[in-house]
Amino acid sequence: MQLKPVSLDVIAEAREEAHAVLATLMARLAPGEHVVRLGVDMEGQERPLSAVLPITVEGDGGAEDLVGAEPKYLDNFAFLLTCGLAQTLCSGVMYLHSPGADGGPATVRAWHLCWGALNECSAVEAAELLGEYVPGDFVDAFGVHAAEDGDEGDEGEAVYPPVAYTVL
């Protein structure tokens, strides 16, 4: 496999965005055991590359919840997402499998990776992409990208919520 050359600036920007995506995702999780999966198809490769990130959220759904992920899974996931965001000819899908409310079926949210951005999928789009492979109730995904330049509160640096520093 031969990847298109990418400048160090593009890689650094993609790495920051990957961490911002993960921080946004983790901040929106309800208590329970979640699994985030990412598949990235790069030009010239036979099969997509994939990464899995199990995330545990303990608490009552408030700001003090403890969010935990094993560093090796977090690092691998962030690396693959960085590659997908930096290589604009890549495509892929990221999806979140979360426990259902009150013991009901699991919920599934999906994002489509295209041209260096993760675009949220509607429940219908997610079901079309993943329905035959992933069990659960499909729901609309939320936006995961960092705020645009000039938006209030954008400090240009991805920082995980303080509760996300728990190591399992």
Span 120-128, average pLDDT: 96
Examine residue 107 and state whether it is found in any structural domain, yes or no: yes
The DSSP-derived string for 91-154 is EEEEEEEEPPGGG-PPEEEEEEEETTEEEEPPHHHHHHHHTTT--SEE-PPPP-SPPPTT-TT-
**Is 89 among the domain residues?**
yes
Above 70 in pLDDT, residue 167? Answer: no
Q: Is 19 within the bounds of a domain?
A: yes
User: How many structural domains compose the chain?
Assistant: 1
pLDDT of 74 above 80: yes
The reply to whether 118 falls in a domain is yes
pTM over 0.75, yes/no? yes
Please indicate, yes or no, if residue 32 is contained in any of the structural domains. Answer: yes
> Domain range spanning residue 61?
8-143+161-165
pLDDT on residue 64: 81
pLDDT of residue 88: 82
Task: Kindly state whether residue 154 falls inside one of the protein's structural domains.
Answer: no
